[in-house]
């Protein structure tokens, strides 16, 4: 025990030696910027540290103040550049019998990727076949017979013509990708291993291009019957001189000819997705890379069950009345009237079917939904476009306070990002998970905000980004995704700002009508 005891005299001596050592170290002139050595002003006892301690003590005694804006909001807002997708070059080759939903899947995929600003195009071999047949008839007067016998594998001449069409379509697709496209969709049956091997060999010759086969199988008689009925009743030129019954019999014979030679994908070297009954079952093999995985995930979420998606802006808010943007203000008197009237309108159109209501986390949407007798979910992703430093201001105040921002946003509204806030492009990216979930759901009512509903509306109606920020979404009106609008007779202010210099511009409505010819011939 005695050996472990330390006298107070020894402790005092040790402390004295330590103090002498520190004093000696501080007298040495170390080069500025030496590793692990702070500049003298920031060392213990230095003037900067003393000033920092003083300021901290003073600030800690002050009340809560607005924080200093981060560097991102100290300058004017800016336009957001489109992401560089130039390295993405993917061929998506459809596989499947007729009337199995191939064109539905290819067009849904095109709309989704275009909404995310990828350059996407569908190359439909059937369109190319009809286009060339029409050109031939216009030039020579010869009408080609494209009834079921044309699609028989026993018809060697027609089989050669169909193979040539598929190869020409693929060549056009590859050329388009080389010119700057991102995803080219080869919409054809591609129903044999031999045809798929030709596609794989051709794409393999192109540096930087990848290939995914997308097979659509369907054994649901109801779905097949619906697709056959759509085919023979939608104005297909192949059946323009036939009655509906004759057209149906011929189309079923065409399917039978394909069934005789159809080979499902079993090749172990191919990257593919197999979708059974449009989303009931999905099989994936050798799917690699960001965009390929994104495509796969989107397609996994699709279904074809009958459903309704409705949109409604929140009722008129106090900020709407005052002409202010953003914020989290409550509903106005008229807005509360809309909230009370909305349930009757929804029940009238939905009936006794199940429905889920989605709102943002802001009180004006939650108040609008409060009387609806349905389950409700709140989504932070559905909050209004963030106006940054301009939040809570009128457009007149923005023009006066931030004239450059005001002009830049009018110049390019989709790409302009508020300082400290968002652009429409940012909102589209934010809404992608919402789109994924919407595709999985059945009946949904979204009570949202003007910018949010514009983005979602543009997705469902396949509208270009340049038009998206100017879609008119009035207050006190409910919307169906098939362009049905249900206005209620409750007055509200008009928050729509038309596109500068073209105050009466017309946003072209998209069309879901099937196209039967390539664009160059369809216009003739």
- Residues with a catalytic annotation lie at 187, 314, 384
Determine the Cα–Cα distance for residues 123 and 126; give it in Å rounded to an integer.
Answer: 9
Determine the Cα–Cα distance for residues 291 and 447; give it in Å rounded to an integer.
Answer: 31
Q: Do residues 185 and 94 lie in contact, with contact meaning Cβ atoms separated by under 8 Å?
A: yes
Determine the Cα–Cα distance for residues 480 and 489; give it in Å rounded to an integer.
Answer: 18
Show the CA angle centred on residue 187, arms to residues 182 and 192, nearest 5°.
120
Determine the Cα–Cα distance for residues 342 and 368; give it in Å rounded to an integer.
Answer: 8
Determine the Cα–Cα distance for residues 290 and 59; give it in Å rounded to an integer.
Answer: 48
**C-alpha 341: how far from chain center:** 32
- Residue 122's H or E segment, with its range, is strand 120-124
- In residues, how long is the chain? 524
N-terminal to C-terminal alpha carbon distance within the chain? 109
Residue 43, token pair as written in the block: 């060392």
φ and ψ at residue 117, rounded to 5 degrees: 75, 20
For residue 394, which of 327, 331, 322 has the smallest C-alpha distance? 322
Show the CA angle centred on residue 332, arms to residues 326 and 333, nearest 5°.
170
Distances (CA, A) of 420 to 52, 74, 186, 452: 28, 8, 42, 18
Beta bridge partners of 309: 444
Q: Do residues 370 and 407 lie in contact, with contact meaning Cβ atoms separated by under 8 Å?
A: no
Beta bridge partners of 273: 214, 284
Residue 336, token pair as written in the block: 């509360």
- Residue 91's H or E segment, with its range, is strand 90-95
For residue 214, which of 169, 265, 165 has the smallest C-alpha distance? 265
Q: Do residues 447 and 313 lie in contact, with contact meaning Cβ atoms separated by under 8 Å?
A: yes
No. of H helices and E strands in the chain?
17, 14
φ and ψ at residue 213, rounded to 5 degrees: -95, 135
Show the CA angle centred on residue 508, arms to residues 434 and 183, nearest 5°.
55
């Amino acid at each position: 025990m005695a050996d472990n005891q330390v006298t107070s005299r020894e402790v005092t001596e040790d402390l004295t030696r330590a103090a002498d050592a520190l004093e000696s170290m501080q007298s040495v002139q170390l080069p500025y910027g030496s590793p692990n050595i702070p500049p003298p002003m920031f060392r213990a006892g230095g003037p900067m540290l003393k000033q920092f301690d003083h300021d901290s003590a003073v600030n800690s005694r002050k009340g809560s103040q607005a924080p200093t804006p981060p560097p991102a909001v100290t300058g004017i807002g800016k336009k957001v550049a489109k992401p560089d997708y130039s390295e993405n070059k993917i061929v998506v080759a459809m596989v499947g019998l007729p009337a199995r939903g191939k064109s539905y899947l290819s067009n849904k995929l095109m709309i989704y990727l275009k909404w995310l600003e990828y350059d996407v195009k569908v190359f439909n071999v059937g369109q190319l076949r009809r286009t060339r047949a029409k050109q031939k008839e216009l030039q020579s007067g010869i009408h080609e017979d494209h009834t079921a016998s044309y699609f028989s594998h026993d018809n060697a001449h027609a089989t050669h013509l169909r193979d040539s069409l598929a190869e020409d379509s693929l060549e056009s697709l590859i050329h388009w990708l080389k010119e700057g496209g991102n995803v080219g969709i080869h919409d054809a049956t591609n129903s044999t291993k031999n045809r798929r091997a030709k596609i794989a060999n051709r794409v393999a010759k192109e540096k930087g291009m990848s290939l995914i086969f997308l097979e659509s199988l369907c054994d649901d008689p109801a779905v097949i019957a619906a697709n056959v009925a759509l085919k023979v009743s939608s104005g297909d030129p192949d059946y323009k001189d036939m009655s509906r019954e004759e057209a149906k019999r011929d189309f079923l014979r065409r399917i039978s000819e394909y069934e005789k030679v159809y080979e499902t994908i079993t090749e172990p070297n191919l990257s593919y997705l197999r979708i059974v009954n449009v989303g009931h079952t999905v099989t994936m093999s050798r799917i690699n890379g960001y965009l390929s995985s994104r495509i796969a995930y989107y397609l996994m979420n699709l279904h074809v069950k009958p459903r309704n998606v409705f949109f409604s802006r929140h009722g008129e808010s106090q900020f709407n009345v005052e002409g202010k943007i953003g914020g989290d203000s409550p509903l106005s008197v008229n807005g509360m009237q809309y909230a009370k009237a909305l349930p009757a309108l929804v029940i009238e159109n939905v009936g006794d079917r199940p429905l889920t209501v989605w709102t943002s986390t802001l009180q004006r949407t939650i108040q609008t939904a409060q009387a609806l007798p349905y389950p409700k979910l709140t989504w932070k992703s559905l909050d209004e476009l963030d106006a940054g430093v301009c939040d809570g201001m009128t457009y007149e105040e923005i023009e006066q306070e931030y004239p450059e921002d005001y002009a830049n946003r009018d110049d390019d509204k989709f790409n302009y990002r508020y300082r400290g806030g968002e652009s429409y492009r940012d909102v589209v990216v934010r809404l992608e998970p919402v789109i994924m979930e919407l595709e999985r759901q059945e009946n949904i009512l979204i009570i949202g905000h003007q910018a949010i509903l514009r983005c979602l509306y543009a997705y469902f109606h396949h509208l270009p980004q340049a038009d998206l920020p100017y879609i008119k979404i009035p207050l006190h009106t409910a919307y169906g995704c098939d362009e049905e609008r249900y206005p209620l007779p409750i007055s509200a202010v008009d928050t729509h700002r038309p596109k500068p210099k073209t105050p009466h511009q017309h946003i072209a409505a998209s069309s879901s009508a099937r196209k039967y010819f390539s664009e160059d011939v369809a216009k003739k």
